[in-house]
Amino acid sequence: MSVRRITVAVTAALLGLAVQGTAVAVPFAAVTVPQSWEYQAMGLGEAQQTAQGEGIKVAVLDSGVEADHPALRGRVTTGPDYLQDGLQAGDPEWGGHGTAMASDVLKVAPKAEILSVRVTNDDEEKMEFVKGSPIARGIDYAVDHGADVISMSIGDELLGSSYNGDEAAALARAAQKGVPVLASAGNDGDMFNDAQYPAAYPGVIAVAALQQNGSRADFSTVRTYNAVAAPGVAIMSAKNTGGYATIDGTSPATALTAGVVALMLSHNDEVTPAQVRTILTSTARHPSGGRNALVGYGTVDAAAAVRGAAKPPADETAPVAYKGKQFLATPDGTPKTKNAPLDTTMVGIGLGAAAVGLLMVIGGVLISRVGRRPANAVGSSG
């Protein structure tokens, strides 16, 4: 075990009293999620012959995880609920999405541990205002409590609509501690050109979704920051109310890929976040041209990724001093993550003048049409 992981383990032990919930009680889940087509598509059978996620903790930042589901029992530690929206475990509206994601992680890495941190609601339209960023707090909690991988199948609508400085800082702390972070690319297809967070943050491994024929699923968001892709259609997953159901989305694609990272780390716990990204992207089955905005570097190959983790490439990432020109500006207090307010005075005058001009044009057209109207137009059928 590396010094980094020993330190994390000791810290987690010292902070153990602060963890909400129960610890892992059995070696591995007694029931596995029924297989879907992703086993063959990702080469999971071969990968699991080498590693199964032993000793790796995957933090699932989501809507909560029903730890008593047969596919999850004994594998889940429940962390804090940063929403505090009144919902609790056992409520049908609590933990639907998160339970499915945790089961998808364990489908790939059956001997991994899950740390559940609740940062979102299954129905984002019902989310109440929460002071601060639940995602940022969830990332920090996961890092402080021994997470080896962070999986965030979240975004769209209320969550993921804009850059958040607290979240970026928390992700930087995760990188500093050597914790790789994955996030779903989103389910907006190619309809919009807005970046989605947390997938768009630097250092995050954004995962797109594939359909059974190996091409991008129609709903999978198209962005240049997409790193890799994984199966995301008809993925059999656990239900928070019991049993199983198939789900679609970049969410299961991300959870499956997080499971692959857990396999990699259980095979070699010295692999850094930068090396994880390099191995995933270099061993993926590349699309024509090597990569594109649809599926990044292509389909995750779990077997090849685990083999690559045994002898990872050199990690040359390190802080570098800026040596370019310095441009000083007046310190007006404007946050670096926001644009300065627009002076709308001249804009208002321009819009007013444009409106007057448009009304004049419309009036002229109407007068012209009346002047040319034929005499038999009124009351005539043709």
pLDDT at 84: 86
Q: Where are the domains of the chain?
A: 3-310, 341-372
Model confidence at 21, pLDDT cuts 50, 70, 90, reads very low
Model confidence at 364, pLDDT cuts 50, 70, 90, reads low
DSSP E strand boundaries for the chain: 57-62, 76-81, 113-118, 149-152, 181-184, 205-210, 226-231, 235-238, 244-247
Q: Does the pLDDT of residue 85 top 90, yes or no?
A: no
Answer with the residue of higher pLDDT: 182 or 345.
182
- Alpha-carbon span 299 to 292, nearest angstrom: 12
Q: Does the pLDDT of residue 182 top 70, yes or no?
A: yes
Cα–Cα nearest to 52, from 29, 81, 69: 29
Instruction: Give me the chain's average pLDDT, please.
Output: 83
Mean pLDDT of 9-16: 38
Q: Does the pLDDT of residue 333 top 90, yes or no?
A: no
CA dihedral 161, 166, 171, 176 (to 10 degrees): 160
Question: Would you state the CATH architecture of domain 3-310?
Answer: 3-Layer(aba) Sandwich (3.40)
Q: Which two tokens stand for residue 17?
A: 């009293």
Between CA 187 and CA 306, with CA 53 as vertex, the angle to 5 degrees is 80
> 19 near 145, Cβ under 8 Å?
yes
For residue 179, the tally of other CB atoms under 10 A from its CB is: 25
| Per-residue pLDDT tens over the stretch 199-256 | 999 999 999 999 999 999 999 999 999 999 999 999 999 999 999 999 999 999 999 9
97 is catalytic: yes
Answer with the residue of higher pLDDT: 194 or 58.
58
Mean pLDDT of 292-306: 97
pLDDT at 349: 65
pTM: 0.77
CA atoms within 13 A on the CB side of 283: 27
Q: Which of 251, 266, 267, 301 is catalytic?
A: 251
The pLDDT > 70 percentage for the chain reads 73
Q: Which of 36, 62, 81, 248 is catalytic?
A: 62
Cα–Cα nearest to 241, from 89, 107, 74: 89
Q: How far is CA 269 from CA 43, 48, 180, 217, 303, in A?
A: 21, 16, 12, 33, 17
368 is catalytic: no
Q: Identify the top-confidence range among 15-29, 89-103, 314-328.
A: 89-103
Residue 180, class by beta-carbon neighbours within 10 Å (0-12 exposed, 13-18 middle, 19+ buried)? buried
81 is catalytic: no
Q: Which of 36, 63, 81, 97 is catalytic?
A: 97
